[in-house]
């Protein structure tokens, strides 16, 4: 069984990204990332902080905008318009989820698709579906594909089952796996909460991607001998034995499943570190595109 080391692959992506930042610097371009946070959700705040810190570490121009929880939709849209027009900013992301009074779909639509480094804008969603490589691909599924490639896992002709159909993970993951070329060409099935006999569906898979949001939901009965498992889930479970009072676990029961697998990603240390690395890579890509050849 191969334990796929997401931290090591993320370091590699970050090193490549840093080299591209150096190339841009020689042309007088500094990639700029604007991260917008509305409200004070502690998990969102932690994500924003780590994105900002990582961007600064790589030598990006990193700007953090924090709006109060009661900020109006119009205020957020005005900020996005300003960032769209700012030549020092190449990537814009609004941390999800915003407070309930914010219309997130309208916010995503307001971001210039050329600066939409999260890949959530409908133009970028359509480009992914059309296999048009001029768009941006959401960071988490992009990171999952990179993990498969780095681990030397063949996807062409393989049966892949993605459990979860969110716009952030499940759907783009399915599109990437079925796209033509390296890391793609799989025969893809997407399962969700209305799927009947999930175990029979996942048992048929050579590659299982779990993006469900339920701790240890997939067990040994879901995975066939020799399968590859990519666990996207990040779930907090109470654990009185650690100072934080909780620990992070995936959607897959790692201890039960790992012995059956050809390869599997752990949680933490699997997909998680890849998401931020791919975000940095997308931001540099935006700067490369906007600044021209």
Q: Determine if 193 is a binding residue for ligand NDP (CB under 6 A).
A: yes
**Interface with ligand NDP: number of residues (CB under 6 A):** 25
Residues 212-231 that bind ligand NDP (CB under 6 A): 212-214
- Enumerate the β-bridge partners of residue 34: 63, 92
CB of 168 to ligand NDP, least distance (A): 5
Please tell me whether residue 209 binds ligand NDP under the rule CB under 6 A: no
Nearest to 199 by CA among 214, 217, 183: 217
What pairs with residue 3 in β-bridges?
A: 264
For β-strands 61-67 and 2-3, DSSP reports them as unpaired
| Inter-CA distances, 264 with 53, 213, 246, Å | 29, 17, 23
For residue 203, indicate whether it is catalytic.
no
User: Judged by CB under 6 A, does residue 275 bind ligand NDP?
Assistant: yes
What one-character-per-residue DSSP string does 101-134 give? TS-HHHHHHHS-GGG-TT--SHHHHHHHHTT-TT
277 binds ligand NDP (CB under 6 A): no
- Find the shortest distance in angstroms from Cβ 249 to ligand NDP: 10
The runs of H, that is alpha helices, within 157-210 are 170-178, 198-203
Interface with ligand NDP includes 194 (CB under 6 A)?
yes
Q: Is residue 207 within the footprint of ligand NDP (CB under 6 A)?
A: no
- 197 annotated active-site: no
Q: Which residues are catalytic?
A: 51, 95, 118
Residues forming the site for ligand NDP (CB under 6 A): 140, 163-166, 168-170, 191-195, 198, 211-214, 232-235, 271-272, 275
């Amino acid at each position: 069984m191969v334990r796929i080391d997401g931290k090591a692959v993320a370091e590699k992506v970050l090193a490549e990204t840093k080299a591209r930042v150096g190339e841009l610097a020689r042309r007088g371009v500094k990639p700029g990332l604007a991260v917008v946070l509305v409200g004070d959700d502690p998990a969102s705040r932690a994500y924003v902080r780590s994105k900002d810190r990582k961007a600064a570490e790589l030598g990006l121009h990193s700007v953090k905008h924090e709006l109060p929880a009661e900020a109006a939709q119009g205020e957020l849209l005005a900020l996005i318009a300003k960032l769209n027009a700012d030549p020092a900013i190449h990537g814009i992301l609004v941390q999800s989820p915003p407070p309930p009074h914010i219309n997130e779909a309208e916010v995503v639509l307001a971001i210039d698709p050329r600066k939409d480094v999260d890949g959530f804008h409908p133009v970028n969603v359509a480009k992914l579906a059309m296999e048009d490589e001029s768009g941006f691909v959401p960071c988490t599924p992009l990171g999952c594909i990179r993990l498969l490639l780095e681990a030397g896992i063949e996807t062409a002709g393989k049966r892949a089952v993605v459990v979860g159909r969110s716009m952030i993970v499940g759907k783009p993951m399915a599109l990437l796996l079925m796209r033509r070329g390296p890391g793609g060409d799989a025969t893809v099935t997407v399962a969700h909460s209305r799927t009947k006999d999930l175990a029979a569906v996942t048992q048929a898979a050579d590659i299982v991607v779990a993006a469900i949001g339920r701790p240890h939901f997939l067990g040994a009965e879901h995975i066939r001998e020799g399968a590859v498992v990519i666990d996207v889930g990040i779930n907090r479970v109470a654990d009185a034995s650690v100072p934080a009072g909780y620990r992070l676990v995936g959607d897959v029961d790692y201890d039960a499943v790992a012995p059956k697998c050809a390869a599997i990603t752990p949680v933490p240390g699997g997909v998680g570190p890849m998401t931020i690395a791919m975000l940095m890579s997308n931001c540099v890509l935006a700067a490369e595109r906007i600044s021209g050849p």
